[in-house]
Amino acid sequence: MQEVIGSNPLSSTSHKSLLNRGLRYLTTFVSAVNLLVQSWKFFHETMNRIFRMPRKPNVFPSYLLHKQSGQARVRVDGKDHLLGPYGSDESRIRYGQLVSKFAGGQQIDPVKSSGKRGSLPRNEQPDPGPTVGELCVVFLEHAKSHYTKAGKATSEICILKSCMRPLNDLYGRTPAAEFGPLALKAVREKMITFGWKRTVINSAMSRIRRIFKYAVGNELIEPAVLQKLQALAPLLAGRTQAAESEPRSPVDDESLQAVRDRVSPLVRDLIDLQNLTGARSGELLGLSAGMIDRSGEVWLARLHDHKTAHHGAVRELVFGPESQRILQRHLPEDPDQKLFPITGAGYRRSVTRACEAAGIARWIPHQLRHTFAHRARAEAGLEAAQAALGHRKADMTQHYAGAARSKAVELAKRIG
């Protein structure tokens, strides 16, 4: 058979045709790959549209500022709700109420949703009001600005947090309107299991009632809630499982001398001043040269910032000859400079460490007030001791101020 030229792809005469056919095969292969890729992308997008989970919205709306009015706002379901002055306690309580209702699936605006003023939708429960935990948050914010001395927070803040801890553990999510005497008693029992002393527990109960009293005063809860809590009687000595606190006793002379021998001269002078004047350690540590009137036989220091200043009480320290000799060693040239450059915690730590080093029973600087009180009462009587220690009621301050100073001055001349 005669071969047709160019019809046999393997023929040496058909190199150009073979190259063209290879290019066509390659083009077909590339097109098939592209089609496969496009098919896979289409399949992947389709499956994503079918099985992809929708993105969850933010569960809790944010507490925001409405700049035009200066009020706090929260956006729920595309609608802004004004809550009151931004940063205020009532706005935060209102925010918590709205968020709680939103998280529970309740209608935010019951009047609008029901279409009938004064009624609630059929499936909606009445607003239970703020919880116990929310009251604690509001009161703690108030306490941080209320319980301050010289621009610093007092120890009352830490004490309040300790009282709130068992309260929140048991009833933090309970509506405050449902918190009654039995619930308060359960909190008290938890404090007993913690090993708290009876007097400490009674003070904690008073502080918890103070939280609810603040809520009543700000119309967060009804007065009846507080009235029920006031019905719970305090724990009595010998009639409870709570342990009793050991009474503060005066420091004996041997223990006093053992500590004096093991502390720095600065701490030793502070110990002697407390023992001679009956002053609180914080009162001495706050002294500056400009506060002391040294014009008379007995030096006087009138304190404007002291423990009972918020009750309107007047507090004066009187320094006799022995106390004056100690103070002269620490008087600076600057009248505004503090006499004793040490903190209250550092002073107390120095005393307790000296007790441990001496191998004696531990005592703290505040017990020196008891030591002074016993000696002052024995030598000058109860009224003079009360005047020197500053133990007087706020409403009787003006009545007894003159007599108290004269008795305190006389006592300072004799033993200070």
Please choose, from the candidates 388, 393, 380, the residue with its C-alpha nearest in 3D space to the C-alpha of residue 405: 388
- Per DSSP, the chain holds a count of helices (H) and strands (E) of 16, 8
What pLDDT, on the 0 to 100 scale, is given for residue 44? 72
Which neighbouring-strand residues pair with 175?
131
Query: For the ranges 69-78, 233-242, 278-287, which has the lowest average pLDDT?
Result: 69-78
Residue 394 has pLDDT above 50, yes or no: no
d(CA 408, CA 54): 79
| Whole-number Å distance between alpha carbons of 285 and 280 | 9
Neighbours of 277 (CB within 10 A): 29
* pLDDT tens string 103-122: 666 665 533 333 333 444 44
pLDDT value, residue 218 = 92
The confidence score (pLDDT) of residue 55 equals 47
AA letter at 353: R
pLDDT digits (tens, 9 = 90+) for 127-173: 678 999 999 999 999 999 888 877 788 889 999 999 999 999 999 98
Q: To which CATH superfamily is domain 253-415 assigned?
A: Intergrase catalytic core (1.10.443.10)
**Amino acid 60: pLDDT:** 59
**Which residue is listed with tokens 């004696």?**
360
The dihedral over CA atoms of 301, 306, 307, 310, expressed in degrees to the nearest 10, equals 120
Q: Are the beta carbons of 87 and 72 closer than 8 angstroms?
A: yes
Domain pair 132-229 / 253-415, same fold: no
Residue 327 CB contacts under 8 Å (≥ 6 apart), including other chains: 273, 292, 299, 319, 339
Instruction: State the pLDDT at residue 359.
Output: 94
CA-derived radius of gyration, the chain: 39
Is the confidence at residue 403, as pLDDT, over 80?
Answer: no
**Residue 352: pLDDT over 90:** yes
Closest CA to 319 of 263, 351, 275, 260: 275
Q: What band does 23 get if pLDDT is binned at 50, 70 and 90?
A: confident
Q: Tell me which amino acid residue 203 is.
A: S
DSSP calls for 397-413? HHHHHHHHHHHHHHHHH
In this structure, of 174-188, 276-290, 325-339, 392-406, the range with the lowest mean pLDDT score is 392-406
Domain boundaries, the chain: 64-114, 132-229, 253-415
Does residue 346 contact residue 281 with C-beta atoms inside 8 Å?
no
- Model confidence at 79, pLDDT cuts 50, 70, 90, reads confident
| Cβ 306 vs Cβ 279: under 8 Å | no
Half-sphere exposure of 274 (CA within 13 A, CB side): 26
132-229: which CATH topology? Answer: DNA polymerase; domain 1 (1.10.150)
Q: What is the pLDDT of residues 271-291, one digit of tens each?
A: 999 998 888 888 898 898 888
Exposure b/e, 383-416, CB count within 10 A at least 16 = b: ebbbbbbbebeeeebeebeeebbebbbebbeebb
In angstroms, rounded to a whole number, what is the distance separating the alpha carbons of residues 145 and 140?
9
